[in-house]
Amino acid sequence: MAGELTMMTAAGLAAAMAAGEVSALEVTDAHLARIGDADDRVRAFLHVATEQARQAARAVDQRRAAGQPLGALAGVPLALKDVFTTTDMPTTCGSAILDGWRPPYDATITRRLRAGGVVILGKTNMDEFAMGSSTENSAFGPSHNPWDLSRVPGGSSGGSAAAVAAFEAPLGIGTDTGGSIRQPAAVCGVVGVKPTYGGSSRYGVVAFASSLDSPGPLARTVLDAALLHEVMSGHDPCDATSVDAPVPPVVAAARQADVSGLRIGVVPELSGEGCQPGVLARFSEAVELLESLGAKVAEVSCPHFSYALPAYYLIAPSECSSNLARFDAMRYGLRVGDDGTASAEEVMSLTRAQGFGAEVKRRIMLGTYALSSGYYDAYYGKAQQVRTLIIRDFEAAFEQVDVLVSPTTPTTAFPLGERVDDPLAMYVADLCTIPSDLAGNAALSVPCGLAPDGLPVGLQIMAPVLADDRIYRVGAAVEAALDSRRGHRLLDQAKGLS
Amino acid sequence: MPIARDDVAHLARLSRLALADEELDHLAAQLDVIISAVARVQEVAAEGIPPTSHAVPLVNVFREDTEVLCLTAAEALAAAPAVEQQRFRVPRILAED
């Protein structure tokens, strides 16, 4: 029974618990056991909160027994990226500078999960401060891809994606700044969603690039992602950039799963040069599939998307150089060199040099450069203008079509170590995902088969700001058609853990 | 225009990063490659295009001014590297002379 429970979807588990077939505690224990079996190989978790998880599950069982109202995902276990603050678990952001830090408050999303009875199993590994595409920038070592343990699970939310793909949790939460939910979802063969910017709260999410950071769900099915999307999203007065609008009807859209008459645009700038042939083959098949399901497909050019990658690697580091100034060794976190003679500034500099990893240092210095007097106009200022042009490309495209599609990532999961000291090669992993971050619109990655190397490929679906329901509608249609054609779920083919 | 090692050392000082010489050398080479790559944004004709700092523009965001409890001193100091007399103890910020 325990093994079967970990194979179930979040929707299936919620229904089984509601019907009294299984308790929340049994569900939680089954997943804790799976983590015990598998996580020494996957290393998805930085911290497993066994006692807190079991306590949360027992509370759900008690509420249910007492006939009290429960949320749609009450009792369902979840893997939470270690960038969300949690008062009862450490929050490290994958950084030595925050090793062991216990935040004094919960993130809004943490609070919403707790209020909805979602069981937080623990905190998952990530590239340090969410900067990276492989989890190799974690100070605590990389996570491994459940499809092939010698390969990266993507990043920066690689721990949450790997936990979901390894059946350690049916649900995960990540954050997407340049692709950090969709890219790991694609290379781990799971569903990942970047909601509209401001659709999910950033309060209590340790900031990387504030104008881009978007928390979102990871799951094994589109419907499960939609259920979590509704639990975690919505206006938050504690986040000044939170959008004060109703959450789009994503669960209904995932159930609808119908694309007949929908206008779908293929973006040539994101589905050609730089993409592996195996990725492009699965992508073309997915587009043909959508056409066979009744969608109207056209090519829609977005000429400035070619400049999204360089614009992003100026804007994100600029914001990061400012945001990470808060790690000053004074009020919390690591402090190095405070020997009674060193000045505050010396202690700050020693602490930051020791506490930050190589990629974080690179980005802080790059951002400091792009913002410095004399370079500002040519770098940061110009990147902000390119951002405007990218938004205009999206606006023009969405006048012609309802959604845009592309591969989620140019390649399948690459081997651990391959790109770790080659920043530009690592940055290219975000090629297709960055435009939606710069424009703040909604985007989803859904598995669309395996490349000839036996590794999963993701289809990216992009929709206008606050039209998040459309990405679920299309994603669910693709998922249903592919599952039915294949006769089983894609993840049943994952070999890394068999 | 290649970025000089002295410029990188200056950036490190501005960034409050006390980097060792080998680390500076390594970073200088990498930053040069990255900056050359991101400089591609300068190819874009953007005359008269307004900059975007935020994808979903919002202005004058306020919330209700309601009284809530704040952290206690013990909670606020719980993660402090050093505490003295219920305060954050910090290294000296002024020269001693």
* ipTM of model: 0.95
Domain assignment present for A366: no
Residues B54/A308, Cβ–Cβ less than 8 Å: no
Phi, psi of A474 (to 5 degrees): -70, -45
Domain assignment present for A365: no
Active-site annotation holder among A95, A133, A156, A321: A156
For A445, the token pair is: 């990655």
Range of the domain at A272: 2-303+389-493
Cα nearest neighbour of B36 on chain A: A310
Nearest to B31 by CA among A322, A416, A314: A314
Cα nearest neighbour of A196 on chain B: B56
Residues B41/A379, Cβ–Cβ less than 8 Å: yes
Find the DSSP H helices in A88-176. Answer: 108-115, 158-165
Say whether A495 is catalytic.
no
| pTM score | 0.97
Cα of B38 to nearest chain A Cα, Å: 4
Q: How many angstroms separate the CA atoms of A33 and A227, rounded?
A: 25
Is B31 touching A (CB cutoff 8 A)? yes
CB–CB contact A307 B50 (8 Å): no
Say whether A81 is catalytic.
yes
Domain assignment present for A323: no
Active-site annotation holder among A23, A134, A160, A180: A180
Residues A367/B15, Cβ–Cβ less than 8 Å: no
**Residues of chain B with C-beta less than 8 angstroms from the C-beta of A438:** 55
Residues A103/A59, Cβ–Cβ less than 8 Å: no
Is B93 touching A (CB cutoff 8 A)? yes
> Which of B13, B52, B68, B90 is the best residue to mutate to test the A interface, defined by the most A CB atoms within 10 Å of its own CB?
B52
Domain count, chain A: 1
**Residues of chain B with C-beta less than 8 angstroms from the C-beta of A269:** none
Domain assignment present for A346: no
Phi, psi of A408 (to 5 degrees): -75, -40
Q: How many angstroms separate the CA atoms of A420 and A430, rounded?
A: 15
CB–CB contact A314 B38 (8 Å): yes
CB–CB contact A321 B15 (8 Å): yes
CA angle centred on A155, ends A88 and B44, rounded to 5°: 125
**Residues of chain B with C-beta less than 8 angstroms from the C-beta of A465:** 55-56
Domain assignment present for A372: no
Domain assignment present for A359: no
Is A25 touching B (CB cutoff 8 A)? no
Give, in order, the Cα–Cα distances in Å from B75 to each of A111, A330, B81. Answer: 18, 15, 13
pLDDT tens per residue across all 498 residues of chain A? 567 999 999 999 999 999 999 999 999 999 999 999 999 999 999 999 999 999 999 999 999 999 999 999 999 999 999 999 999 999 999 999 999 999 999 999 999 999 999 999 999 999 999 999 999 999 999 999 999 999 999 999 999 999 999 999 999 999 999 999 999 999 999 999 999 999 999 999 999 999 999 999 999 999 999 999 999 999 999 999 999 999 999 999 999 999 999 999 999 999 988 899 999 999 999 999 999 999 999 999 999 999 999 999 999 999 999 999 999 999 999 999 999 999 999 999 999 999 999 999 999 999 999 999 899 999 999 999 999 999 999 999 999 999 999 999 999 999 999 999 899 999 999 999 999 999 999 999 999 999 999 999 999 999 999 999 999 999 999 999 999 999 999 998 887 787
Query: Considering CB atoms only, which of A197, A343, A368 is closest to B11?
Result: A368
CATH number for the domain spanning A211: value is 3.90.1300.10
Query: Considering CB atoms only, which of B15, B76, B91 is closest to A342?
Result: B91
Query: Considering CB atoms only, which of B19, B33, B75 is closest to A104?
Result: B75
Domain assignment present for A382: no
Domain assignment present for A68: yes
